[in-house]
Structure 1
Amino acid sequence: MSRPTIAANGANVKVVLPPGWYATVSAITRKPYNQLLTCEYEVQGDTKNNFVANKWNQPNQTMRDIDTTDDVIGIIPQNDPVDINIKFYYSKTGSIREDALADDKYKSNKVDILTSVKPPNAPKDFPDYTTFIVLVEDAPDGEQLAGKPQYDDFVCTINCLRGIKIVPIPVGPSYNLPNIQGDILPALPKALEYFYYFRITNLDHFRKVFKEFILPKINTADELVNRPPPPVNPNDPKSFEYPFLGVNVGFSNLGLKKFGLAGESLGDDPFVKGQQQDSRFLGDAGTLRGDFWTPDWDAEFKVDIDGIFLIVAYNEKIAQDFIKDMEAKFLYTASRSAIKKIYSLHGFPRAGAEARNDHFGYRGGMSNPQVKGVTYKDKMRYPGAPEIPLGTIIIGYDGDADKDKRPAWAKDGAFMVTRKLNNLVPEFDDFLLLHGPKIFPDIAPQAAALRLGARLFGRWKNGTSVEMSPDNDDPSIANDDNRINNFTFDQNAKQSRCPFASHMRKSNPRNDVSPIESAFKHFVRRHNMPYGSEVTPEERDGNGTIQERGLHVVCYQSSIVRGFKFIQEGWYNDPNFPPNKPVVPGMDPIFGQTGKEDQAVYRTMSGANPTTEQELMTFPHKFIDPRGGEYFFNPSISTMKQYIAAQ
């Protein structure tokens, strides 16, 4: 009975696989520089070529196929012997990577081979196997340092199994995390973020730079779930020195068209027409001339936008160095670039004790929906957050109601909605100081303002919900991750504890809808970032907002229609949501929009006063002012390789 054999010639390895044998090939890099394994074999007259590469400066990691992102090459049994030819390459030059390494001048030096076979005393039913472990030495003999180990540069494992069907052991849901951009799920870790909106002006050069410079730097969900960088510790300045760079990318419908991808096939009408035209229905202020809508946005967002780069880092130097290098590489003459920067927004968390809070001062994020095995493994950090199927966020999985209608290139991608929302903080604080003491005359004015603000948001500034603690910001709840988000609404209390229209209740209705899970298809993952300076004394002295500050919204979903758009129009802006209440709840006082304040069409809500819950509170001024945004599609890694980076 023939068995697999292996032979080496320098850094070339040939395995002969007998008829009826399976084989898998995988590799692990041990070094920070670029390495490549090529695997060539023939199946039924068809020659297969796989290119398996590592990532720069990520030693001791599994290497992946540059086309499929798979970490294992599988070869099924054939009726004839199969020759598997494997070659190894390397380069210590960062720009020479992936298939560019497949050149004799980058060949590794030599290999050492270890072999393991089925022991003779193994149980009778134990499968017959042969395993070859190939240890690779990159450096030429003349460059070897005395006393240093050899054959420690990367490891290739070839597992051969005879005559049985290989059934993978199930380890959980089949999520292709290496193919999903990492800010979608679980989220890029952020000490600062640049939102770089652009238009493509030279497609060929854009493709070239995208393939060689951008694509290798894009972080995947697999990387962030299984090999995350250390978290930033605001109290430890050294944590900001960690050299982490995060890059993700999204394309508008206009951008996808430039690569021959039809956004219409995604089945999401708002994405096709873009946010500028859709903003009319979101409640943004603007002007309608015939059928054309012009929102009252910043000028930068009223032009065609093809895409956006999300750039995050732990310190400014790393982020700005990347942007500088990127802009230089997109130049195809001394003065002409393949992209036009439309707008760049610099976002960063607030300082000190406000680091977890928005500019209004409220902590959030505890009820962001979770996907088991992706955003958490064994236990949610904040129990009570909705646990949703992956397809609510990622196209092509259970939870995506349109998964069978979407084109193949859409799988593992997601829609991204961005919104630049200026926060009118002095106006909000002035409103609270004016009306809070009228509702709560028995407490100090500042305390009354804080209490009214908590009822409008549904949470106190420290995150404690008014449902759990209507009269004070109970720190014992705020400091307990297991309690802060773990509650439902007391339906018998009506609005005495938490107003129906409070922002928190509008955003996550919990048991206000039945069954609770009926709302899950509308949830989005929010990865927002504040921007702008703190409120100045001049602004606090009754002059209102002078300097720009706010929240750059980033939310992900598998459907804008069911996700962001539904939440804005069907929850925030709908005065009758939550449904079936004894009084009309009103609009979300924070995120609700009429777009017609200049026509005296104001937001109203009931329940701001806990003792007279039918009394309406009117908001003649908005506290959030939308200044722009766009609808994007963040493709999978494989789609970007096949369509965006293709030449």
Structure 2
Amino acid sequence: MSRPVSTVNGTNVKIVVPPGWTSIVTAVTRRTYNQLVLCEHDDGGAKTTLFANKWQTPDVTMLDISNNSSQLGVSPQAVAVNFSLQFYYSQTMSVNGAALRADQYKSNEVNVLTSEKPSGAPPEFPDYVSFIILVEDAPANEQVPGRPRFDDMVVTVHCMKNQESTTAPPVPAYNLSNIQGDILPALPKALEYFYYFEILNVEKFREAFGKFIVPKITTAQQLTTNPPPPPPNPSVTFLGVNAGFTYLALQLFGLTDDLLDDSFVKGQQQDSKDLGDAGTARGDFWTPKWDAEYKVDIHGIFLITAYNDAVAAKFVEDMERAFTYTATRMSIKKVVLLKGAPRAGAEARNDHFGYRGGMSNPQVRNVTFETPAQATIRYPGSPIIPIGVIVMGYEGDEDKDKRAAWAIDGSFMVTRKLNNLVPEFDDFLLEHGPKVFPNIPVKDAADRLGARLFGRWKDGTPTELSPDAPDPAISGDDKRINNFAFDQSAGQKRCPFASHMRKSNPRNDVTPVESVFKHFIRRHNMPYGPEVSPEERDGNGTIQERGLHVVCYASSIVRGFKFYQQAWYNEPNFPPNKPELPGMDPIFGQTGEEHLDVHRYMTGANPTAEQQVMSFPKKFIDPRVESTSLRRPSRL
């Protein structure tokens, strides 16, 4: 195919644009009622644009509901770009914007006209093909006599051939064999051990580490070219091993270069105050309210993943033997071994609160997709970021030109042991859900309030796409579950500004969207602990520890994880420039003054009273440990 072509199936118009062509999509409404254009395209990752009009405003350009842009532009690509366009309308004022995206509102007919460069045009005249799509909304039996047909909406897809070379850009030169695999793309995890340790004998440790651990490190190169089959599969003998070291450990190794990150230097205990963790101040020293075993000098962590417990346990046994250098002495001391695994059965993709996550991790081209292991982005809609946002020394790392040579290809890792107070969360929903939604059954009201706090229903359906109920057609479709923008005209009716999902990935709440890329982190989390017992559900609250072991990666803790917690989760004014003060993330937010009865709050929990403030007198998540480590073990 050398030129753009179109096909029509009912009212769906598909346009295929060959490599090297620029495309611009615009839409004009001719009517006073509500209309919507759904434009899906794939230029390396599937994207969705929704153009909508305003009630009683005919003969104007329709605007992208995510950013108010009057057009969609797609630059020349090295591969063909596929467009799919669908058209909707409703004469009911309240059915507008993204709510029109349903079969019952589809337009009735389309007529596609084509205009292209005349055969006699001068050679220097740009080559182009324009598709003019004329839309007729109403069926034939509702046509107004004497009125022209196909005059309700006009959509134009203008394609122009690039006059320059269309050679595909070279694949970036990432040193994937020197990047640990859990940083990117992520270790496969049917279970995971978190082995925190203290170094007792530096020289003996370095010797054993080089001989036993380094050869077993699982790299990004391995996982992008020859990964094991997806878990769970207990018969697979795969073992994943990664390692990280704290600032204290680097001092022991004599690696004193400035890594340009104050949070890494301060260490996990002292930095926790800035995050809002509970604790006690004694002069300049901060003692967080963590589990006692973590309040020691931690020098490092081993991440160990496997498909069955026997493989992981055998590795730990062999590892401890390797670090033993006399009959009674080891070069390391185990601080704590925390074991995590996905929940069982139907809850395998969900956290202990019951909500599915992990769909919006930022993606890196040629590492997390467009690789032999993963051709496309699994969940379109995820931001595509430069690798340097996550890995030091590459484009996207604001300090890439200042990095010590040995630190290049490394990443900062933050781990958090977050106890999930599930019975308390469920009790809150059962108490307050019926107050917000008094006209539906108690359980349904609790589920709906929970969905608004998280921004997703338990099955992963975004409330932005389905505010009233989970939608299996969305949650079961990897291409839809994360592929959306927030309808800025809808306020908090569909999704509260402070919901956890919206705080974690503001999408088009911040423009330009790329301005927040430097803050993104990769999150590779793992649940731990047992299921909630009947005794706990019977009004007794949390008895057994359970929660989420959070693992975050970025080339900066200050710009990444710490920024998330301080400037997004804990900040009442984020997302910015909203008609109501959003409030704090109801799940992950912290005031740092809960002991003084200063509690989290948010607006928008009630979609019919968006300014109403909801307060959360109890925590749903209780941090019990944090560790900041550098993932770059090949040189000590």
Whether TM exceeds 0.5 here: the answer is yes
1: distance between equivalents of 2:255 and 2:404? 10
Shift in Å at residue 174 of structure 1?
0.8
Q: Give the alignment of 1:449-598 within 5 angstroms.
A: 449-598=446-595
* Paired residues, number: 465
2: distance between equivalents of 1:184 and 1:467? 30
2: distance between equivalents of 1:376 and 1:268? 29
* Contact 2:415 2:549 (8 Å CA) reproduced: yes
> Counterpart of 1:355 in structure 2: which amino acid?
A
Selected match of 2:269 from 252, 262, 276:
276
Matched, 1:429 2:423: no
Selected match of 1:337 from 330, 335, 344:
330
| CA spacing shift, 1:221–1:404, aligned 2, 3 Å | same
Q: Which segments of structure 1 move beyond 6 Å, counting only runs of 4 or more? A: none
Selected match of 1:240 from 234, 242, 245:
234
Instruction: Give the fraction of aligned pairs with identical amino acids, expressed as a percent.
Output: 70
Structure-2 residue corresponding to 1:256 = 250
2: distance between equivalents of 1:485 and 1:407? 37
Selected match of 2:302 from 309, 312, 334:
309
Structure-2 residue corresponding to 1:325 = 318
Q: Which runs of 5+ in 1 are unaligned?
A: 1-168, 234-238
Structure-1 residue corresponding to 2:339 = 346
Q: TM-score, normalised by structure 2?
A: 0.72
Q: Give the alignment of 1:374-393 within 5 angstroms.
A: 374-377=367-370, 378-393=375-390
Q: Give the alignment of 1:179-198 within 5 angstroms.
A: 179-198=178-197
Matched, 1:213 2:223: no
2: distance between equivalents of 1:242 and 1:170? 37
Q: Secondary structure at the match of 1:585?
A: coil
- Deviation per CA, 1:177-219, whole angstroms, max 9, x where unpaired? 0111111000100000000000110112111111111110001
2: distance between equivalents of 1:306 and 1:516? 37
Shift in Å at residue 170 of structure 1?
7.2
1: distance between equivalents of 2:478 and 2:171? 26
> Counterpart of 2:209 in structure 1: which amino acid?
F
> CA RMSD, aligned part only?
1.0
Q: Secondary structure at the match of 2:626?
A: strand
Structure-1 residue corresponding to 2:613 = 616
2: distance between equivalents of 1:502 and 1:266? 34
2: distance between equivalents of 1:594 and 1:194? 31
- Deviation per CA, 1:356-410, whole angstroms, max 9, x where unpaired? 0000000001000000110111421110000000000000000000101111111
* Contact 2:588 2:621 (8 Å CA) reproduced: yes
Shift in Å at residue 578 of structure 1?
0.2
* Contact 2:464 2:486 (8 Å CA) reproduced: yes
Structure-1 residue corresponding to 2:438 = 441
- Deviation per CA, 1:339-372, whole angstroms, max 9, x where unpaired? 0001110000000000000000000010000001
1: distance between equivalents of 2:282 and 2:211? 44
1: distance between equivalents of 2:376 and 2:227? 18
Q: Secondary structure at the match of 1:358?
A: coil
Shift in Å at residue 171 of structure 1?
4.4
- Deviation per CA, 1:30-52, whole angstroms, max 9, x where unpaired? xxxxxxxxxxxxxxxxxxxxxxx
> Counterpart of 1:388 in structure 2: which amino acid?
I
* Contact 2:272 2:626 (8 Å CA) reproduced: no
- Deviation per CA, 1:526-580, whole angstroms, max 9, x where unpaired? 0000000000000000000000000000010000011000000000000000000
Q: TM-score, normalised by structure 1?
A: 0.71
Largest Rg, 1 or 2? 1
> Counterpart of 2:340 in structure 1: which amino acid?
G
Shift in Å at residue 328 of structure 1?
1.2
> Counterpart of 1:232 in structure 2: which amino acid?
P
- Deviation per CA, 1:116-144, whole angstroms, max 9, x where unpaired? xxxxxxxxxxxxxxxxxxxxxxxxxxxxx
Shift in Å at residue 596 of structure 1?
1.9
2: distance between equivalents of 1:577 and 1:387? 22
1: distance between equivalents of 2:492 and 2:170? 45
Matched, 1:394 2:391: yes
Structure-2 residue corresponding to 1:297 = 290
